[in-house]
């Protein structure tokens, strides 16, 4: 069964060129955004509302009420930037983050570790290791991907959305598989902001230098 939120295996060999193409495109947009457009994303924020981390403003997704979330569940271990294991009543479950594509760290189909993969993995480890999290499903996406991984958004107990933070801090690119998902526009805005401000993999000193 096809799934949404995960790159098909047939496209694995094209993952590097896809990311480089995205880097080139957003590098050009970065200069336009820096002239004033980025203010629409980050400069005109509204006061934080209940349930949002302070200082994030209207651009940061608000955490849903806990009655529609799963958890809290304990994080068992982190595989890489966008894949983690959590402990559930039925044992451990592997979670693939929706809407996020971090550089590949452990994919055996690739001949080398992708640029910024270790940094993305370390970011997720530092955020989630030893923590409890909430899982949010999305009815617009399949619940399980072709590899048996549950597709979800991962929220920390203090209201942080890991999926968003990975993109916003420059550790990941936004990724849509087939069908738009709940936070798609917010994730795309976060990617544009990260590129405009040259954070993480968008920096000329890291992966952007490969464009």
Q: Of the listed 4, 96, 160, 186, which one is catalytic?
A: 96
- Residue 149 among the catalytic residues: yes
**Residue 173 backbone dihedrals phi, psi, to 5 degrees:** -105, 155
Q: Of the listed 19, 30, 56, 104, which one is catalytic?
A: 104
- Residue 109 among the catalytic residues: no
* Both tokens assigned to 11: 């496209």
Q: Which residues have CB under 8 Å from 80's CB, separation 6+?
A: 102, 104, 105, 106, 117, 120, 121, 124
d(CA 78, CA 131): 11
CA separation, residue 64 to residues 6, 24, 38, 199 (Å)? 23, 35, 27, 28
Q: Of the listed 19, 30, 149, 150, which one is catalytic?
A: 149
- Residue 56 among the catalytic residues: no
ω into 72 cis (within 30 of 0): yes
Active-site positions?
96, 104, 149
């Amino acid at each position: 069964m096809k799934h949404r939120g995960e790159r098909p295996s047939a496209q694995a060999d094209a993952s590097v060129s896809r990311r480089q193409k995205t880097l080139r495109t957003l590098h050009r947009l970065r200069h336009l955004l820096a002239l004033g457009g980025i203010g629409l994303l980050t400069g005109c924020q509204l006061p934080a509302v209940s349930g949002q981390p302070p200082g994030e403003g209207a651009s940061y997704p608000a955490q849903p009420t806990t009655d529609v979330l799963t958890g809290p569940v304990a994080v068992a271990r982190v595989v890489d930037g966008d894949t983690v294991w959590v402990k559930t009543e039925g044992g451990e479950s592997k979670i693939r983050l929706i809407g996020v594509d971090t550089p590949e760290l452990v994919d055996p189909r690739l001949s080398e570790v992708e640029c910024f993969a270790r940094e993305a993995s370390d970011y997720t480890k530092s955020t989630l290791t030893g923590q409890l999290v909430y899982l949010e499903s999305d009815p617009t996406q399949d619940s399980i991907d072709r590899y048996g991984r549950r597709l979800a958004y991962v929220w920390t107990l203090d209201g942080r959305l890991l999926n968003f933070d990975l993109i916003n801090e420059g550790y990941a690119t936004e990724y849509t598989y087939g069908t738009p998902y709940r936070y798609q526009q917010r994730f795309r805005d976060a990617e544009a902001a990260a590129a405009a401000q040259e954070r993480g993999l968008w920096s000329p000193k890291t992966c952007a230098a490969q464009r």
